Structure formats: structure tokens, C-alpha cells
Structure 1
Amino acid sequence: MARVRMVRWTWAVLAGLCALATCEVQQQCPPRGEISPCSCSVKKNGLDVLCEFTDQQRISDAMGVLKGKPFVIFYLKLRHNNLKKLPGFVFLGLDIRHLTIHNSSLSVVEEASLSSIGKVLTQLDVSQNSLTLVPSAAFKSLHHLLILNMNHNKVNSLHAKAFQGLDTLEILTLYENKIISIDADAFVGLEKKLKRLNLGGNGLTSVPQKSLALLETLKKLEMQENRLSEIREGDFEGLKNLDSLGLAHNKIRQVPPRVFSHLTLLTSLEMDGNNIDTIDSDAFAGLEENLQYLRLGDNNIHTIPTDALKRLHRLRHLDLRSNNITFIAEDAFFGYGDSITFLNLQKNDIRTLNGMIFENLNSLETLNLQNNKLMHVPEDVMEPILDTLRVVDIMDNPLLCDCELQWYKNWLSNLKDKDDEMMQKKRTVCTMQYEHREYSLQSLPLEKMECVIKSYKSAANEARWSVLKQTAIGAFVLARYIYL
């Protein structure tokens, strides 16, 4: 009797180990006819089962065939079906790790529909359905869920404790619903693990500060494409670990002082596509140490907001495209431009470039001035940045052919890496006034224009040569002194 128990125990252990290891002998799809119209393929971590363009009864029949088998269904994809209701215990006896119910008219998720797979399910996608509320009762047993995708449904509000029980959840996406209100306790239960929250594409008119304040672990918050008309100091209080904030394509007109002061770890801020015309000089207070990516394109900004930007001494990427900027002040990048590698000023109304406006941009690699009103791009303006520039875009400007433009041809000929091919493809042209003819900047007729042809030697190269020369002279004097 003891021996029988030992044999049974051994087989049980082996079966358990085999299930954990997803043994090859067990990971075999059932015959196609048995689960039709569903299909099955074997993946590295288990089975990939797909059921499309069918109904609830046939899906239930296919699940019945798979029940009780020692399969790991790594992916179960139910797409484009007529599955208005997910019935209770439909997945009983199945081991499902990733479940997708997509574009299947789903509007009801019964409380017991997911309970049987709560200990193994790690990803749930119920996107593009007809859910009008969060099925909290069905979700509460999913204690190992990492990702929940509810994009493109019809949820209009998030009630209190809507996600309670999902204490391991790291990513929650609710993009393109109809959410207009969020209860202060909506995210109770998500405080420990949630890293990313997408509330974009909804109807929010203000930042749901009380509900968001619970999410101390949140790294990325997306609130683009809502109806936010203003943001205020304190709106983001509590989000002390936030790394990325998306506020693009709202209706924000002003960026008030200290509105982001609690986000001291923020590295990326997206505010493009609003109606911003005013940025307070203290708007970015608190972001001094970490902000690197700032997108302010497609707004109504009339000048580069130097007073607000000058505290951002770690800024690397500045996007000001599609605004109403007409000129660049000589001190526009003074005090903060040293770390900028990417500057986008395309689709503005810039007419002239004068003085040493780019002098402080010592790290600049990409400069986009496409589609402005520039007739001249003087060499002395560009000279301070030619050494570091890898991409410069001055296409779609009414450039006049003049001798000053030979810097472009010289700079391009000295570009010797992968960016060279991309730059060569850009058709940048100027117009010869008296001929009414266009010329490519790469083949300017310098002799015809009676230009004094210059040999390219950048300011930085000259400075390095000067330092080397002085060092060599010093070394010679020192050696002679020692010798004497």
C-alpha cells in the first residue's frame, strides 16, 4: 500500500514538473477538427489558440475539448466574434496565460468567467468591445495579472475600487473610451505595482488629482486627447516616481507656475497639440534635475520661452515645431542649451537668423528649420554648431542663392557617417534671382556667382589647432629650459 502511494506521489510530482516545464510531449495541439473553427499552433512556451469569426457556442465547444488536458495555452485569442457575454466558468479546467477577447461585441463579463484562471493569467486584452463599465467582480480574482488592456470600449466612468484585487497589475490602458469622471478611490488596490496608466482619448476636462495621487509607483501617465482646458499647481501631487507625462492634444492655453513641481523625476513631457500661448517663467520649476525631452509643438507660442526653459540644464530634446515663432532672440538658448542634441523649429514663421543665436548649443546634432520664411542662412550664424551637427534641414524655405550658402555644401562634404546618406537625399534648393532658376545647395554654381571659395575649417577645429599649437610651443620652451 505504501509502495502504491509512493508511485502515485512520484507520478504527481513528475506531472507537476512537466506542467511547469511545458513538456514537449504534452504541448501538442488537438486535431483541427476537434476544435474547429478554432486553430492551434505550438509555441515555445505553450499553445497558441485562435478563434475568429464565430459565436459563443462554438467557442464553448472548443474550450470543452481543451479542458482537463495537460496543456499550457500561452495565447488564447478570441477575435472578431459574436461574443456579447462571457459566461461563468467558460475557462474552467484550462491553463491560460494570455487571454485576448478583441472586437467581439463583448458587453457583459460574468463574475465567475475568469475566476478559474486567476492564478495563472498574466495578460488580459478586452479591447475594442462594448463594455460600459469595468467588470470589477470578474477581475477581482486575477491576482497575477500584469497587463490589462481595455482600450476602445464604452466605459464612461471609473467607479470606486474598480480594479480592486489586481494588486500585481503593472500596465493599465483605457485609451479611447468615453470616461468623463473618475472616483477618488477608483485606483485603490493598484498602489503597489502600477507603472503605466493610459487615460488618453477620453472626455476628461480636468486632471483627476485625488485618484491619481494614490499611484506612487506610477512611471508613465498618458492623458493625451482629452478635453483638459487647464492644469494647476498640485494636479500631479503624489506622483513622485513619474518619469513620463503625456498631455498632448488637449485644450490647454497656459502653463502656470510650479504646475509640475512635484514631478522631480520627470524626464519626458509632451504638451504638443494644445492651444498654449503663455508659459510662466516658473512653469517648469521642479524639473531642473531630470527633464530631457520637452515637446511643445503645434501650439500658439510666439517666441522661444527662454525664461521658462533656462532652468532646464539637462534638456536634450526640444520640439517647438508648428508654432508662431517669428524670430530667435540672441539669448534664446543662453544658460540651458549646452545639452540640447535635437532642436525642431520647423513650420514656424522665422524670417531671419542673426548674430550668435546658436552659440550655446554645444551638443546640437539635429537642427530642423524646414518650412519657415528664411531667405538667407548666414555662415557666421551656423558656424558655432557645424562641428556637432549630423542633420540640418532647411528645406521648403524661400532661400536665395548667395555665397553665404557655401557652408552647406562644405559641411555636407565633410559628413562621413550614416547620416550622410539621409542628408544627400534631401532636396534643398535656392533660387537664383536674376535667372529665376532653382539650384540644389549641393551643387551651387560658386564660380558663376563669383564667390570667394572657402576651404572648410570649423571654429572648433581652429580652436583645437590653436590649443595644440600653444601646447607644443609650451612643451618646446619647457624642454629647452630643462636642457639649459
Structure 2
Amino acid sequence: MQAGRLSTARWGAFYLLLAAGLASQAPEQCPHSCRRCGAAVSTVNCSYAGLSGVPERLPSDLTRLNLSHNAIRTLAPEQFGALTRLEDLDLSDNLLAYVEADALLGLWSLLDLRVARNRLKVLPAGALAGLSRLRLLDVSGNEILGVLDFTFRDLAGLRVLQALHNHVVFVSRQAFAGLTELRQLYLDACNLTSVPTEAFAHLGGLTVLHLHRLESSALPDYAFLGLARLKELVVADWPRLETLSANSLVGLNLTSLAIRKCNLSAVPFAALHHLVYLVNLDLSSNPISYIQGNQLRDLLRLEEFHLAGGRLRRIEMATFYGSVSLKLLDVSRNLLSTLEEGVFHSPDALRHLGLNGNPLACDCRLLWLARRRSSLQFVGGPPTCGQWDFLGYAAADMAELLTCRSPRVQPRQPDSVWVEQGHTAVLHCDAEGRPEPSVTWLDPGRRALTNAGRIRAVGNGSLEVRYAQPQDTGIYRCVASNAAGNDTRPIELRVRTLSKKKPFHLKSWPAALPSLSPDLREPPFDVKTLLIAASIGFLSFCSSVGVCFIAIFFWSKSRGQIKHTANIAYVPRSAAASSNGGAGNSMETSRFTMKLM
């Protein structure tokens, strides 16, 4: 029994020594600096290994290879030819400046390729050959200057292309030809001066498009006309983009639109009205100061509206009328003095509100927030008015803190104002209240006056009537309103007409024209006008006569010296008769001299 056990122990030791010997003779599968290496391992991580080239001894059945954060400078043709099962290759954060043609040939199974943060300036034709199954390509953070024609023609299965933070100057018309399955494109073209509309026309299946850091000052009309399936569009970091034309987004049927960190001074209502399926609208970090009411009424499905980090001072009442499903509003870090309940179509649908970072006034317009504080989640923290976290007060204390005072119009000028015809009249309206009331002017027909036209309301609450006419006479009303009520003051404007001088009548006119109507028989004459007309006629006559004399004088000078005498030859009648009788006699002529007077 003991002998059998000893024999078994000896055979076990022999097998262990044999295995150790065979292991010492087996070839090494990858460098010592790589982690998780071995013939039976499908993932090899060689990041931060100090490699200057791709390792030569790698398992042939490898599926994931991480070569990031090394010093690899170039890729030779068929560098990975033996790795036919590789699905994920990460070459990010190296020193790659050039990828030779057919460098990736043989990677028939590759799905994800990351070459981010290298030194590539161009992707040459053939560099991506053989990657028909590739789904994701990341070339962000390089120095790519342009995208050439047919660069991606072999990537028929590509679905995500990330090309952020490059130096793109141009994109060729056929740059994206062949990308029939592309769904997401992230393009950063800081030196591109226009949207590559013709190149985008090849991306009919695109659903997500991000355009960052373009130097264009406008989004041209029909810029995305071929992208009928696009659902998400992000335009960011365009410092020169100040407005969107009405047709810039024609052809799109978006559900999410972001125009961030641009230079928009107003909400582009004209470009947005046809986006009836829009759910998310983000206009953050733009110098927009005012949102007009009832301009977003066509966005019936809007659920999120972001305008954080801007210069917003006022959101007008009924701004979100029509947006019955609005659940999130983020207007934090602006210049708002209040946010009234009347801006919403359905305040009860609101679930998330970002209002912090605004200089809110502590008045009754914020009471609705106090009533709904339990059902609201405040993005970035609760809002404050002054230095107080007013939502933390008890209900009784909040009613005393958030108060309003009805407006009152101060009588700065008389109730009746006179002005000469053709002159300018200014009607003043000074109103006090808490919060500060807004002033509206009504004309004698009770119609509201705007800040345009000859009769217009000016910024300080006054009414200006320029070039006053008799028909402007009437009672104008100043209406001051705030959340606590309103006050009205009528002011009468009277316009003095220009005085008319007594007309001059020619008494003999009716007798000369007895058959004419009374209006034509007694035409009025102004003596002053008559004298001016006569003077002008006399001067015109004298000028004409003078011009004629001068012209005759110079004409006569041009004809030379004038002769004052003339010699005239003639034949007497008797001589003419005798000459008929005798043909041989010569005809006698006579002469006489005339003196010209």
C-alpha cells in the first residue's frame, strides 16, 4: 500500500517537472510590459507600456487589443494581418503621424477602432481598406486638415464617426460617399467657413449630427436638406453665428435641437416654427435678453427648454402657450428679476426648474413657486431672492415677504397738452408700484401703441407724437400694470392748426366768366404769391433777351468786318429792247452804289 502511494507521488513529480520544462521552451506570447497576456487570453492590455511599435508576438485568437498611451509613430502595411479575430483595437494617445495604405488589412472582424489624440493630418486613401464590418471610428483630437473624396468608401457598415477637435479646413463633396449605414457623426471643424451641405447629402440615414467650432457667420438656407431622418442636431461653439434664417432648418424633422455657445441675440422663432415634433430645445450660453410671448405656440410636443448661462432679462407672459407637455425649464445663471406663472400653458406639468443664479425680486410673482415647491425639483439648487432662500420659509412668513403694491400714475404734466401743427409733442407717464409697473399707451380709438411709427411709445414710459397733425387731436391713455393691478391716466392732446392769410379776390373775374361754378368764379389770390410769380417771370424774360443779344454779338464778330456799301449792276430797259432788233450791238449795262444804313 505504501509502495503504491510512493509510486504515485513519483509519477506526479515527474509530470510537474515535464510541464515546467515544456513551459520554459514555449515561445513568449507578448512583451513583459503588457498585462493579461497568454495563449488562452482574448484581451491584451499594453497601455502605458512604453512601446515604440506594435508588438510582434500576439495571440492569433485575440479579440481586444489596447495599445493606447504609448509612443507608436507609424503603422506598416498589414501590421495586424494575423489578428483575424480582433474586434476592438485602441491606438489612442500615441504619436501616429501617418497610416500607410493597407496598414489595417486583415482585420476582417474589427468592429471598433480608436485612433484619437494622435498627430494625424490626413487619412490617405486605402488607410481604412478591409474594414467592412467596422461600426465605430474615433479620430478625434488629431490635426486632420481635410477630408478627401472616398476616404471612407470601404466602411459600408460604419455607424458612428467621431472627428472632434481637429483642424479641418475643407470637406470634399464625396468625402462621405459609401457611408450608407452611418447614424452618428460628430464633426469639429474649427477652420471650416461653411456647412459642407453637398457632402452631407450622402448621409441619408444619419440620425445624430454634432457640428462644433465652425467659423461660419450664418447657417445657410437648406443646409441639411438631404438629412430627412435626422433627429438630433447640435450646433455649438460658433462665435460668429448671430442669427438663423427662416429656411436654414427646412427639410428637418428634429426631436432634439441644441444651439449652444453661439452669438444669438434672439430666439430664432422663424426657423423653429415647422419643427412640430421637437421635444428638446437648448439655446444655452447665447446673449438672448428677451423671449416674446406666444412665439413658441407651434412646438406642441416640447418637453425641455434650456437657456442657461445667458443674458435673459425677461420672459413674457404666454411664452410657452401651446407647449402643454413642458416638464423641464432651465433658465439658471441669467439676469431674470422674476418668473411668472403666466408664462406656462400648464404649470402643473412642470417637474424640473432651473432658476438659481438670477437676481430675483422678492415679490408676489414668486408665490406660485412657494405653492408648488413640494412637486418641483430645482436644477442646480433652489432659487433665492436677494440673499434669502425664500422657499425655506413657512407659509405665513412667505406671505409677508413676497408682497406687491398696486401701481399709481403720477401727474407729471397737465391733463391737456397743446402743440403746434408740425411740431413734436411728448406725453409723460410716471408710475410707481411693486414690482415696477409696465406702461402701455392707448390712442383715442383705444388701440395699443407700439414703439414704431410717427406716434410711438418710447423706452422711459412716455409717448412721442412727431410732426403733430390736426387728426392726432384726442385723448390718449397711459395704463400702468403689474402683478397687483393697474392704473390709468387720460391726457388730452390738442394740435393748433397753422393760421391762413386773407385771400385776394379779382373782382372782374365773376363778370368775365358768368357761366362757371361759384368755386371757379371766385378764385382766391395771394398778393405775396402774385408778386413773387411776376418777379420770376420778369427776370426770366430779361435773362432770355440778354442771352439772345449776346449770341448775336458773338455771331457777328465771327463773320469778319461788316461792309457798309454795295455796288449793283443792271441793264436799262431801252438798251434791252434795241439789242433784240440788232444782234450785233453789245448790251450796255449800268451800275449804281447803295449805302447800307
Aligned to 2:319: 332
2:43 to 47, 58, 63: 47
Contact 1:268 1:294 in 2 (8 A): yes
Structure 1 distance, partners of 2:399, 2:198, is: 67
| 1:304-323: CA deviation from partner (whole Å, max 9, x where unpaired) | 24454221110011011222
Quote the residue 2:242 is aligned against: 253
Question: Partner of 1:351 in structure 2?
Answer: 337
> Which residue matches 1:459?
none
Change (3 A) 1:273 1:31: farther
Inter-CA distance 51–451: structure 2 relative to 1 (3 Å threshold): closer
**SS of structure 1 residue aligned to 2:269:** coil
Q: 1:243 offset after TM fit, Å?
A: 1.2
- Moved runs in structure 1, 4+ residues, more than 6 A? 30-33, 42-45, 447-452
- 1:182 aligns with 171
Aligned to 2:91: 101
Distance of 1:342 and 1:205 partners within structure 2: 34
Structure 2: distance between partners of 1:246 and 1:44: 44
Q: Show the 5 A alignment for 1:11-160.
A: 34-41=30-37, 46-56=42-52, 59=54, 62-63=55-56, 65-66=57-58, 71-95=60-84, 96-117=86-107, 119-160=108-149
Q: AA paired with 1:271?
A: I
Are the structure 2 counterparts of residues 280 and 272 from structure 1 closer, same or farther at C-alpha, using a change threshold of 3 Å? closer
Identity %: 24
Q: Distance in 1 between matches of 2:113 and 2:61?
A: 16
Structure 1 segment 155-304 matched on structure 2, within 5 A: 155-190=144-179, 192-200=180-188, 202-251=190-239, 252-264=241-253, 266-288=254-276, 290-304=277-291
Partner of 2:361: 375
1:108 Cα offset (Å): 1.6
Return the alpha-carbon distance in structure 1 between the equivalents of residues 303 and 234 of structure 2.
17
Q: Normalized against structure 2, the TM-score is what?
A: 0.58
Q: CA deviation at 1:123?
A: 1.1
Distance of 1:324 and 1:451 partners within structure 2: 27
Query: Greater relative contact order: 1 or 2 (C-alpha under 8 angstroms, separation 6 or more)?
Result: 1
1:245-299 CA-to-partner distances (Å, cap 9, x unmatched) read 11022121112213212111x11111121110134432113311x2111111111
Structure 1's 248 and 450: CA in aligned 2 closer, same or farther, altered over 3 A? closer
TM-score of the two chains, using structure 1 as the length reference? 0.70
Kept after mapping to 2: 8 A contact 1:216/1:240: yes
State which structure, 1 or 2, has the greater radius of gyration over its C-alpha atoms.
2
Structure 2: give runs of 5+ residues left out of the alignment: 1-25, 403-597
Q: Distance in 2 between matches of 1:222 and 1:81?
A: 30
Per the alignment, residue 347 of structure 2 pairs with 361
Verify the 8 A CA contact 2:362 2:385 in the aligned structure 1. Answer: no
Residue 3 of structure 1 corresponds to which residue in structure 2?
none
Q: CA RMSD in A?
A: 2.9
Number of residues of Structure 1 aligned to a counterpart in Structure 2: 373
Asked if the contact 2:295–2:319 (Cα under 8 Å) also holds between the matched residues in 1, the reply is: no
CA–CA distance in structure 2, aligned partners of residues 148 and 105 of structure 1: 18
Q: Structure 1 or 2: larger strand share? A: 2
Deviation, structure 1 residue 46 = 2.5
**What SS does the aligned partner of 2:343 have?**
coil
In the alignment, the residues of structure 2 paired with residue 300 and residue 123 of structure 1 have an alpha-carbon distance, to the nearest angstrom, of 40
Query: Which residue number in structure 1 is paired with residue 539 of structure 2?
Result: none
CA distance in 2, matches of 1:448, 1:209: 56
Deviation at 1:396, TM superposition (A): 4.5
Shift of 1:341: 0.4
- Decide whether aligned partners of structure 1 residues 450 and 259 sit closer, same or farther in structure 2, where only a CA change above 3 A counts: closer
